[in-house]
Amino acid sequence: MHDARDAEDTRLLAAREFNALLESYFETIIQRCRVRCRTEDDALDCAQAVFLRLLRELKRGRHYPVPFRVVVNNVIGWTVRGFYQRGRAILVEFDDDLPDEVFHGPNPYSDWETRYDLERALGEVSPGDREIGRLRFLEGEEIEDIARRLGKERNAVDQAIYRVRTKLRDVLG
């Protein structure tokens, strides 16, 4: 799957179709920021910072010696680490917002790739935590709903999500 993805990325880079290229990584960036950030608002702000950085670099003509998917994952990691300093979120100043026309349709690779990576990473946590992680990160359920559904205390679900998020950070790097 990565070979097809890399070939499509190379084609889009050569054609300078940066909007389509970034659009193809929309779900991947959003989901990985959600896994690595503490709150939904932080994740969305962080994802926007990732998109803006990538878009600026591409428009400046930056070339990468590695596949673009590797660049995206590295930029996510750098942005999240820069976003949190000394245990608190920094307000990210945006010179401009992403243009609305950047994202306009589904990507055949992104949904599959994101789900595959998350399922693979969830396979490395304990079965009880795996179910909670699946419900939170793959199904998008709220913490209260997960606790009610599984008959657990909210605090137990919070702790499991913390353990799962820590493991996902290690695995997805």
| 104: Cβ contacts below 8 Å, ≥ 6 apart | 23
Q: Extract the tokens encoding 116.
A: 């595959």
Q: Which of the residue ranges 25-39, 74-88, 93-107, 108-122 has the most confident prediction, judged by mean pLDDT?
A: 25-39
Q: pTM above 0.85?
A: no
Tokens 């890399």 belong to which residue?
6
The residue-averaged pLDDT of 33-39 equals: 82
Percent of the residues in the chain that have a pLDDT greater than 70, as a whole number: 81
Q: Extract the tokens encoding 49.
A: 């910072």
Show the 3-state SS of 16-74.
CCHHHHHHHCHHHHHHHHHHHCCCHHHHHHHHHHHHHHHHHHHHCCCCCCCCHHHHHHH
